[in-house]
A and B are shown apart, each in its own frame.
Chain A
């Protein structure tokens, strides 16, 4: 009964390919997020979705596009992969409101672009 799950766990691909990472949460949360963790362990938010509405979009290349078919899922699609996209990508979710609720993270997807 995993709260936030991501697939795949590992992804190795060639430059120029298009790939997707899936995320699902069974916590009933309204907001989901994508973070990128680089090789130096620095965590940076990429996107968040609240009820299918994008509410944060950091300076992320438009090759990255989040897609949310419903509030339990937020998938990350990446076009024309580049070497610099190699990182660990984490999905997270929380229930927003007047009291900032804790974000719970998925296990991460380790992306390696060759």
Chain B
């Protein structure tokens, strides 16, 4: 069974602080895919990143960066110099190659960035 844990239910920071959202996953598959989605207050789900299990290279996109570590089964997400517009619920998700198109989401982390 696949499982995604986002232990941080809510995080509150002040603008310009850096913040890291944790994601730990469990899977028996050797081939799997990890995702991060953002859900702003308006409610839509916005795709941020996809990472394959065989590609552990970290990724940076502007103020966003992701740290994928298979040794600890983690796929953490860092926002540098946070802004008020980053306030949202962030979801980590896992999809196993053997589990036909099934994507399981973590419970989400609500990030509030205060001015």
* A contact set with B: CB distance below 8 Å: 31, 33, 40-45, 48, 50, 55-56, 88, 90, 92, 94, 96, 98-100, 102-108, 110
A42, A43, A94, A106, most chain B CB atoms within 10 A: A43
Q: Is the CB of B52 within 8 A of A43?
A: no
B→A interface (CB under 8 Å): 33, 35, 37, 39, 43-45, 47, 50, 52, 89, 91, 95, 97, 100-105, 107-108, 110
Q: Note all chain B residues with C-beta closer than 8 A to A94.
A: 101
- 8 Å CB contact of A105 from B45, B89, B102: B45
- Of all chain A residues, the one with the shortest Cβ separation from B33 is A100
Describe B's contact surface by its main secondary structure. strand
Q: Say what secondary structure dominates the interface of chain A.
A: strand
Q: Once the chains bind, are B103 and A45 in contact (CB under 8 Å)?
A: yes
Question: What 8 A-B pairs are tightest by C-beta distance, nearest first?
Answer: A105-B45, A100-B33, A43-B105, A107-B44, A41-B108, A100-B95, A102-B50, A96-B101
